[in-house]
């Protein structure tokens, strides 16, 4: 337009003025930020929805079951016809058993893998291993659950004679394998961000690579490593399918890992797949358990965030 | 003065080097373990499931008899679920990311939204199921429909999509935006014609990975009460349906040994779907990713 003969009086300034005065365009410019703001609010609404859903239904639950009985009770027998009891502790103990076993597997192995990838591995090895870790992290938990039930449990039964079909050990180990990639890759990120000069300083003083890794890099990256472990705990607590398939449905308040257990998540699954009707105490109990679970994981996530913020060392 | 005790250094050298070697192989072993686990897992699924994985398996509905059991309803149901989750989660996820990266001022509200997103990402998936059960299934009376499950899953992967899109948008260099403003484009024009086209590979890669999480996720569907014995295909967004992980869960729980093989075959189908989705993500990443 500008270049055409007869229009050469029209300059860019006019074009800008013209476009500024178009009503529709102005309208869109004003409307879009508001629409986009609403989409951003959806995530806030989701949190609000979760918190309110859990609170409302849990309050209904506590109208029927005393709060003290719930948090201090050591017997969880909601399906008992004559005298149902709702003491959350056995479910928490079951959850903690699985979490502890998972962390015993995932932290040492994840940390070792992270040290290898960040300190020893060549660039080409890293390029092969990292995608494999990503694939492992992307395997659906139902697949891990099936794996635990049909492979890990029979294998463990060969080694430990008294092991029941449903137990805490097998799902614990498999949950550990599931969170291993998360811990490995988050720890590796933390270690990779330790500046090279620190490693080179230690190497120049005659340290072996191992000494550099354990005495320089790991301490310097400790906040990131701890945060990754706490996030791992949070994921282990919230893990559902592995523990429902391989853990069993027997809430127990003891320290056994070879017997059938039940975790908080597995209880919710048990009720959801059963036929407890809407409005029964059992129906409301899954919200109380869900709320307890939510508080546990929220605490862990907040701690992880706090650790990585508070103890981060800046170089 | 003697700064270095040469003999002492020499004496300890051998053990230090051995320790280095030993632990290096332990670290390598730990790294390779994940590879080994993945190999065993795949081998188990293929060796158990391959016999049942045939055309009949793909075209039959589930059955009480393992030899007749098929995955048709679950496979089609998962595709229906994807058809709801993909548009809903991408629309809200990318919208939120554009707002946070392009429009939001540094305010307390913005910090709050950002913090909320990272906390939402840490909420266990089963809790999203409880949310969906109360809000979508009961309050909005959507029932155990494709729509109710789709909304629940969309909320579940929303934080992942927002964060991935934010990273993709942030990676678009400032020069491009400024050149666009310099040519007289408005903010919205710049976003639609400059920022989003350059960020789209990153958004799609992250989006597809998030969607594959939604396809494999079981726990929320269990809580919503999605049925497993279904002998029809969904007719619309409000019909009942079942999905791949639900079907696998049902088969894995059954006591008959044959159903273990059926479950393994179902897992193979699920894994093939996931591999296809991930390959698409990798192709997009390699083909369209521009380095500035």
For all residues of chain A together, what is the average pLDDT? 88
Predicted pLDDT at A2: 46
The pairing of strands A85-86 and A76-77 is: antiparallel
B1: confidence class by pLDDT, cuts 50, 70, 90: low
Confirm or reject CATH 3.40.1190.20 for domain A85-310, answering yes or no: no
Predicted pLDDT at B68: 78
pLDDT digit string (tens) for B119-130?
A: 899 899 999 999
In angstroms, the separation between the Cα of residue B145 and the nearest Cα of chain A is: 16
pLDDT tops 80 at residue A153: yes
Query: Which chain A residues are within 8 Å of B103, Cβ to Cβ?
Result: 33, 36-37
Which residues contact residue A179 at a Cβ distance below 8 angstroms, ignoring those fewer than 6 apart? A102, A106, A110, A232, A235, A236
Query: pTM for the whole thing?
Result: 0.89
Strand partners of residue A77: A85
Closest by Cα among B172, B28, B194, B161 to B90: B161
What is the DSSP code string of B46-73? Answer: HHHHTTT-SHHHHHSPP-SSGGG---HH
pLDDT tops 90 at residue A290: yes
- Domain extent listing, chain A: 12-64, 85-310
Beta carbons of A113 and B128 less than 8 Å apart:
no
Chain A window 132-191: which residues touch B at a Cβ cutoff of 8 Å?
A: 132-133, 135-136, 138-143, 145-147, 149-151, 177, 180-181, 184
Other CB atoms closer than 10 Å to residue A15's CB: what's the count? 13
Mean pLDDT score, B194-202: 90
Query: Which chain B residues are within 8 Å of A135, Cβ to Cβ?
Result: 38, 278
Q: Is A86 helix (H, G, I), strand (E, B) or coil?
A: strand
In angstroms, the separation between the Cα of residue A293 and the nearest Cα of chain B is: 8
Closest by Cα among A185, A183, A186, A195 to A220: A195
Q: What is the share, in percent, of chain A residues with pLDDT greater than 70?
A: 93
Q: Is A3 helix (H, G, I), strand (E, B) or coil?
A: coil
Say how far residue A281 (Cα) sits from the centre of its chain: 29
Complex ipTM? 0.90
Predicted pLDDT at A1: 44
Stronger pLDDT, A17 or B143, i.e. the higher one = B143
pLDDT tops 60 at residue A3: no
In angstroms, the separation between the Cα of residue A37 and the nearest Cα of chain B is: 6
pLDDT digit string (tens) for B222-255?
A: 999 888 888 888 888 888 889 999 999 999 988 8
- Contact yes or no for B194/B167 (Cβ under 8 A): no
Q: What is the share, in percent, of chain B residues with pLDDT greater than 90?
A: 54
Which residues contact residue B19 at a Cβ distance below 8 angstroms, ignoring those fewer than 6 apart? A208, A210
Is A121 near chain B, with CB under 8 Å? yes
pLDDT tops 60 at residue A8: no
């Amino acid at each position: 337009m500008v270049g055409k003969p007869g229009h050469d009086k029209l300059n860019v300034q006019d074009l800008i003025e013209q476009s500024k005065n178009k009503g529709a365009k102005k309208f869109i410019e004003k409307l879009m930020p508001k629409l986009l703001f609403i989409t951003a609010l959806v995530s806030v609404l989701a949190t609000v929805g979760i918190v309110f859903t859990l609170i409302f239904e849990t309050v209904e639950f506590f109208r029927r079951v005393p709060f003290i009985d719930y948090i201090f009770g050591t017997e969880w027998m909601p399906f008992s016809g004559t005298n149902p009891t709702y003491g959350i502790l056995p479910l928490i103990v079951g959850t903690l058993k699985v979490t502890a076993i998972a962390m015993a597997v995932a932290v040492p192995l994840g940390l070792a893998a992270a040290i290898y990838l960040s300190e020893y591995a060549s660039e080409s090895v890293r390029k092969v291993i990292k995608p494999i870790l990503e694939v492992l992290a992307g395997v659906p938990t139902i697949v891990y659950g099936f794996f635990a039930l049909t492979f890990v449990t029979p294998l463990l039964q060969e080694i430990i004679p008294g092991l029941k079909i449903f137990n805490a050990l097998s799902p614990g180990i498999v949950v550990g394998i599931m969170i291993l990639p998360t811990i490995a890759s988050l720890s590796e990120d933390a270690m990779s961000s330790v500046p090279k000069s620190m490693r080179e300083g230690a190497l120049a003083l005659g340290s072996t690579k191992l000494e550099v890794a354990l005495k320089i890099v790991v301490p310097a990256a400790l906040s990131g490593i701890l945060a990754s472990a706490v996030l791992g705990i949070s994921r282990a607590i919230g893990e559902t399918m592995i523990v429902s398939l391989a853990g069993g449905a027997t809430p127990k308040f003891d320290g056994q890992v070879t017997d059938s257990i039940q975790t908080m998540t597995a209880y919710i699954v048990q009720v959801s797949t059963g036929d407890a009707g809407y409005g029964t105490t059992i129906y409301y109990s899954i919200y109380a358990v869900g709320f307890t679970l939510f508080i546990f994981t929220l605490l862990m996530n907040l701690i992880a965030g706090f650790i990585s913020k508070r103890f981060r060392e800046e170089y | 003065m003697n700064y270095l005790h040469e003999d002492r250094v020499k004496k300890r050298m051998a053990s230090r080097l051995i320790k280095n070697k030993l632990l290096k192989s332990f670290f390598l072993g730990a790294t390779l373990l994940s590879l080994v686990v993945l190999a065993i897992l795949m081998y188990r699924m293929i060796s158990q499931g391959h016999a049942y994985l045939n055309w009949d398996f793909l075209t039959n509905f589930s059955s009480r008899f393992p030899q007749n059991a098929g995955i048709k309803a679950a496979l089609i149901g998962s595709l229906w679920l994807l058809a709801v989750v993909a548009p809903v989660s991408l629309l809200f996820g990318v919208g939120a990311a554009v707002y946070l990266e392009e429009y939001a001022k540094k305010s307390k509200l913005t910090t709050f939204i950002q913090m909320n997103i990272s906390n939402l990402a840490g909420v266990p998936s089963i809790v999203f199921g409880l949310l969906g059960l109360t809000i979508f299934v009961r309050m909005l009376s959507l029932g155990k429909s494709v729509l109710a499950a789709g909304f629940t899953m969309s909320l579940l992967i929303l934080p992942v999509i927002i964060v991935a899109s934010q990273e993709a948008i942030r990676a678009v260099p400032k020069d491009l935006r400024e050149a666009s403003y310099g040519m007289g484009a408005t903010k919205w024009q710049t976003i639609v014609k400059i920022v989003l086209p350059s960020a789209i590979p990153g958004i799609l890669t992250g989006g597809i990975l998030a969607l594959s999480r939604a396809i494999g996720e079981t726990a929320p569907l269990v809580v919503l009460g999605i049925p497993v014995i279904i002998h029809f295909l969904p007719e619309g967004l409000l019909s009942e349906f079942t999905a791949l992980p639900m079907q696998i869960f049902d088969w894995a729980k059954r006591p008959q040994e044959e159903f273990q093989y059926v479950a393994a075959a179902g897992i193979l189908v699920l894994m093939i779907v996931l591999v296809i989705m991930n390959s698409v993500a990798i192709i997009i990443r390699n083909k369209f990713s521009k380095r500035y």
